Chain A
Amino acid sequence: DKYCYVFRSADEDRKIEYKAAVKIQSWFRGCRVRAYLRYLNRMVVFIQKWWRGYRSRRYFRKMVETAYFIMKMNFYNEMAVRIQKRWRGYYVRKYIHNYHALKKYLEAVSVNNEIVRNELQEYAEMKENEKKRKDLEQKEKEKKYQARKMHYLLSTEQIAGVYNSPFRKSPDPMELLLRKSKPLSHRWQQICPRPPTFSMPQALPPIGRQKPQGPFRDTAEVLQQRYKPVEPTLQVAASINSLLEKAREEMKWEEWRNRIHDNEFLPFSSYHKNEKYNPSIHRSGKYGQETYGVKHFREVQPKKWVADKDFQTVLPSIVLFEKFGKTYSRAGQIV
């Protein structure tokens, strides 16, 4: 019995110890595994930490780069804007709407206008003066002519003239003119409207009354030589149509002698009535040049052709004649 209880208690102890041992071992194994898992975790976290840091540093670097790039570009843009601003202002002001040049131009225009106006004014004044002078001269000429015509109104010792009244202090200017002017004779008035003759290059030397000393001819002979009448030749003396005229005269007298019948020979009255006006070849077309003689030289009548086509020219065309009519200007209208 004791052994049974000892064995049963030993068995139960053994079971209890076995279970305890299993428990302890499982707990220990669990601890070990847990430690191992913890270790693994830690390693994984470590790796992930490292990886994520790497990724984000890369990203950060990229961000920094882009930010830098954008800053650079903004800066460049700013600078470009400044340059363009300056350039555009300069360009517009110089080439497109140059205010100062415009102002100067307008001033120059007004100055030029003043000059032109002055010159034109001078020109007009000059013309006026010329006209006035011409009028004055005309009047003077008229007055002088009048004075010459009325020369008889001059005052003499006995009778005071019209313009020289005794009550005046000094004679009238007309009186002075009359005194100055030569009397006008009517002979001058007739000779004045003379047809223009060819002027002799030199006048002949005058012939004096007496024969000059020396071996000269007598005055009578010299006068005779100078004033010898012209003796024209027969050709000059006879008129151009003289022969013809003489012949006609003869015929006329013969006719007159021999005519029996006094009534004039009247032409057939109806002969001229139906006469139509035949325009020349130049007129028969519209005004302008006829093409016959210029553009074509043969008349062509297709109805009279034997075969149905025109006969061909065999000769080669002449180069020079091809150029006929191709003139430069359109005034001749051949082109």
Chain B
Amino acid sequence: SGVISLLRPLLLDVAPNIQHTAALALGRLANYNDDLAEAVVKGDILPQLVCSLSEQNRFYKKAAAFVLRAVGKHSPQLAQAIVQCGALEMLVICLEDFDPGVKEAASWALGYIARHNEELSQAVVDAGAVPLLVLCIQEPEIALKRIAASTLSDISKHSPELAQTVVDAGAIAHLAQMILNPDAKLKCQVLSALSQIAKHSVDLAELVVEAEIFPVVLTCLKDSDDCVKKNGATLITEIAKHTPELSQLIVNAGGVAAVIDCIGSCRGTVRLPGIMMLGYVAVHSENLSMAVIVSKGIPPLCACLIEEHEDHIKAAAALALGHIGRHTPEHAAAVAVANVLPTLLAMYMDTHSSGDLQMKATLKNILQKCTYLPALEPLLHDAPPNIMKHIIGQFSKVLPHDSKARRLFVTTGGLKKVQEIKAEPGSLLQEYINTINNCYPEEIVR
């Protein structure tokens, strides 16, 4: 509305107070709503702000940076408009200012601009912001550290080259030191920055690990703040997912136990990165998944499956269990003993849930290796045909060799159930049924 055109000449007023107040007003308007932010951009205010930023006092700079931040946070197009006006150079100059408030406002604005997509982050990096941000991190004020860390995290999350740039500026060492800081929000941002850096490639993850974060990050998992726990778990997940050696390192440092405790103590989406971490560790090799089983990882995962309401968490827990159970029969037996297979089956057949692909893959993986028959028996009664195929297959592999198991199978009514299954002749199912029937004398089969 007309307010913006009224405010615009006030920006050029002689008295610095008026300029400052006008800028603040514009910033608050733009912050509230993105139509207003677009109006601010269209009203041609940004070039004037940018021009006058260089010679004004620090309150004006803070207010101007606030306006830029408020405009830039709504959408990528607005942020692009800001970049085109040449605001980035000015913001970078603000980053060199003495006053920590100015630096904070400037880095916040840069963070919001860089958050949207990769080109904008590249623009921010090209303006030379990264070394200055690393200097900002070393400043004593906690708010400044927090915001500089969040800006670095926004920059490095888009692509490996950007993350490499951030690493080249020497950010990792400072970020690693700041994990020890008691402030919860700072730890949250620092952990998210490190996890964004580590997620792109093996080398970056190794660099992050070399900064000696390991026993310290585990204390973050015990912090009382949920955000810190979630980001700590995310960091460990991003490191563990690249290679078996990194997962081995994490297991040796006792990370698995810490993550399992963390899963056990939290509720809701905070658990999700921890669950994914267990899945990634278990998928690399059977020794690692045995380590996960030994650290008592399965009961919390089962609890997650049963208690959580959201589908993606359940799907993640099911996937993790599948990865643990699919290596050898012992692993599958460990998973089956925890009585989790009926729950998985129920969830698979539940038509409301959306994670049924994962459930199916999990069930298939576990069942193909499972030789623990008492756990398989309850499944015989409820399973749909494609799962039944696997179950019967397992029975047909084990029963010819084990007489006690045969006896048990008959007494629990499994043989009767098998007879009731109708299968097409010539199909795999029929073959399995024939194998089972051949184990028993004719009278019993009748």
By the criterion CB–CB under 8 Å, are B168 and A331 in contact?
yes
Task: Given A112-B252, A115-B254, A287-B88, decide whether A331 and B125 contact each other with a Cβ distance below 8 A.
Answer: yes
114-132 of chain B: CB within 8 A of chain A: 123, 125-128, 130-131
Q: Which residue of B lies closest to A333 (CB)?
A: B126
By the criterion CB–CB under 8 Å, are B86 and A109 in contact?
no
94-140 of chain A: CB within 8 A of chain B: 102, 105-107, 109-110, 112-117, 120-121, 123-124, 127
By the criterion CB–CB under 8 Å, are B125 and A287 in contact?
no
By the criterion CB–CB under 8 Å, are A331 and B254 in contact?
no
Can you list, as one digit per residue, whether each of B254-278 has a CB less than 8 Å from chain A (1) or not (0)?
1011100100000000000000000
Q: Which residues of B lie under 8 Å from residue A115 when comparing CB positions? A: 254
> Does B47 sit within 8 A of A, measured CB to CB?
yes
> Does A201 sit within 8 A of B, measured CB to CB?
no
Task: Given A109-B252, A123-B219, A287-B83, decide whether A331 and B131 contact each other with a Cβ distance below 8 A.
Answer: yes
Q: Which residues of B lie under 8 Å from residue A123 when comparing CB positions? A: 219, 222
Within the complex, the shortest CB–CB distance from A269 to chain B, in Å, comes to 13
Within the complex, the shortest CB–CB distance from B93 to chain A, in Å, comes to 12
Task: Given A109-B251, A331-B165, decide whether A287 and B123 contact each other with a Cβ distance below 8 A.
Answer: yes
By the criterion CB–CB under 8 Å, are A279 and B290 in contact?
no
> Does A293 sit within 8 A of B, measured CB to CB?
no
Q: Which residues of A lie under 8 Å from residue B254 when comparing CB positions? A: 112-113, 115-117
Within the complex, the shortest CB–CB distance from B131 to chain A, in Å, comes to 7
> Does A329 sit within 8 A of B, measured CB to CB?
yes
Give Cα A272–Cα B329 distance, bound, in whole angstroms. 83
> Does A332 sit within 8 A of B, measured CB to CB?
yes
Partner of A127, one of B165, B221, B224: B224
Give Cα A113–Cα B161 distance, bound, in whole angstroms. 36
Can you list, as one digit per residue, whether each of B160-178 has a CB less than 8 Å from chain A (1) or not (0)?
0100110011000000000
Q: Which residues of A lie under 8 Å from residue B257 when comparing CB positions? A: 112-114, 116-117
Q: Which residues of B lie under 8 Å from residue A105 when comparing CB positions? A: 287, 291
Give the dominant DSSP class at B's interface. Answer: helix
Give Cα A115–Cα B254 distance, bound, in whole angstroms. 8
By the criterion CB–CB under 8 Å, are A279 and B86 in contact?
yes
Can you list, as one digit per residue, whether each of B195-236 has a CB less than 8 Å from chain A (1) or not (0)?
000000000000000000000001101111000000000000
Within the complex, the shortest CB–CB distance from A279 to chain B, in Å, comes to 6
By the criterion CB–CB under 8 Å, are A331 and B169 in contact?
yes
By the criterion CB–CB under 8 Å, are A277 and B252 in contact?
no
Give Cα A91–Cα B114 distance, bound, in whole angstroms. 55
By the criterion CB–CB under 8 Å, are B294 and A106 in contact?
yes
> Does A143 sit within 8 A of B, measured CB to CB?
no
Q: Which residues of A lie under 8 Å from residue B123 when comparing CB positions? A: 287-288
Can you list, as one digit per residue, whether each of B39-50 has a CB less than 8 Å from chain A (1) or not (0)?
000001001000
Q: Which residue of B lies closest to A328 (CB)?
A: B168
By the criterion CB–CB under 8 Å, are A277 and B256 in contact?
no
Residues of A within 8 A of B (CB-CB), count: 30
Within the complex, the shortest CB–CB distance from A47 to chain B, in Å, comes to 72
Partner of B44, one of A114, A117, A277, A279: A277
By the criterion CB–CB under 8 Å, are A120 and B219 in contact?
yes
Can you list, as one digit per residue, whether each of A270-283 has a CB less than 8 Å from chain B (1) or not (0)?
00000001011011
Q: Which residue of B lies closest to A117 (CB)?
A: B257
Task: Given A330-B165, A331-B169, decide whether A109 and B258 contact each other with a Cβ distance below 8 A.
Answer: no
Can you list, as one digit per residue, whether each of B20-58 has a CB less than 8 Å from chain A (1) or not (0)?
000000000000000000000000100100000000000
By the criterion CB–CB under 8 Å, are A102 and B287 in contact?
yes
Q: Which residues of B lie under 8 Å from residue A109 when comparing CB positions? A: 251-252, 256, 291, 294-295
Q: Which residues of B lie under 8 Å from residue A288 when comparing CB positions? A: 123, 126
Within the complex, the shortest CB–CB distance from A105 to chain B, in Å, comes to 7
> Does B308 sit within 8 A of A, measured CB to CB?
no
> Does B89 sit within 8 A of A, measured CB to CB?
yes
Partner of B261, one of A112, A117, A277, A289: A117
By the criterion CB–CB under 8 Å, are B290 and A113 in contact?
no
Q: Which residue of B lies closest to A128 (CB)?
A: B224
Give Cα A333–Cα B165 distance, bound, in whole angstroms. 10
Q: Which residues of A lie under 8 Å from residue B164 when comparing CB positions? A: 330
Q: Which residues of B lie under 8 Å from residue A106 when comparing CB positions? A: 290-291, 294
Can you list, as one digit per residue, whether each of A317-335 has a CB less than 8 Å from chain B (1) or not (0)?
0000000000001111100
Within the complex, the shortest CB–CB distance from B308 to chain A, in Å, comes to 23
Within the complex, the shortest CB–CB distance from B197 to chain A, in Å, comes to 15
Within the complex, the shortest CB–CB distance from A69 to chain B, in Å, comes to 44
Give Cα A215–Cα B251 distance, bound, in whole angstroms. 83
By the criterion CB–CB under 8 Å, are A113 and B295 in contact?
yes
By the criterion CB–CB under 8 Å, are B295 and A331 in contact?
no
Within the complex, the shortest CB–CB distance from B159 to chain A, in Å, comes to 13
By the criterion CB–CB under 8 Å, are A120 and B222 in contact?
yes
Q: Which residue of B lies closest to A115 (CB)?
A: B254
Q: Which residue of B lies closest to A127 (CB)?
A: B224
Give Cα A283–Cα B123 distance, bound, in whole angstroms. 13
By the criterion CB–CB under 8 Å, are A117 and B258 in contact?
yes
Within the complex, the shortest CB–CB distance from A16 to chain B, in Å, comes to 105
By the criterion CB–CB under 8 Å, are A287 and B127 in contact?
yes
- Greatest chain B CB density within 10 A among A120, A289, A329 is at A120
Within the complex, the shortest CB–CB distance from A275 to chain B, in Å, comes to 11
281-335 of chain A: CB within 8 A of chain B: 282-283, 287-289, 329-333
66-105 of chain B: CB within 8 A of chain A: 83-86, 88-89
Q: Which residues of A lie under 8 Å from residue B287 when comparing CB positions? A: 102, 105
Q: Which residues of B lie under 8 Å from residue A332 when comparing CB positions? A: 128
By the criterion CB–CB under 8 Å, are A113 and B126 in contact?
no
Q: Which residue of A lies closest to B50 (CB)?
A: A283
Give Cα A109–Cα B88 distance, bound, in whole angstroms. 51
Within the complex, the shortest CB–CB distance from B176 to chain A, in Å, comes to 18
Q: Which residues of B lie under 8 Å from residue A120 when comparing CB positions? A: 218-219, 221-222, 258, 261
- Greatest chain B CB density within 10 A among A109, A124, A280, A330 is at A109
Q: Which residue of A lies closest to B125 (CB)?
A: A331
By the criterion CB–CB under 8 Å, are A282 and B165 in contact?
no
Q: Which residues of B lie under 8 Å from residue A124 when comparing CB positions? A: 222
By the criterion CB–CB under 8 Å, are A331 and B261 in contact?
no
Partner of B256, one of A113, A279, A287: A113
List 4 A-B pairs, minimum CB-CB distance, nearest first: A116-B254, A113-B257, A283-B86, A124-B222
Interface residues of B (CB under 8 A from A): 44, 47, 83-86, 88-89, 123, 125-128, 130-131, 161, 164-165, 168-169, 218-219, 221-224, 251-254, 256-258, 261, 287, 290-291, 294-295
A–B pairs, 13, beta carbons within 8 Å = A106-B294, A107-B294, A112-B257, A114-B257, A117-B261, A120-B218, A123-B222, A287-B86, A288-B126, A329-B168, A330-B161, A331-B125, A331-B169
With A110-B294, A110-B295 already in contact, 8 other A-B pairs whose C-beta atoms are closer than 8 Å: A106-B290, A106-B291, A117-B257, A127-B222, A127-B223, A287-B123, A288-B123, A329-B168
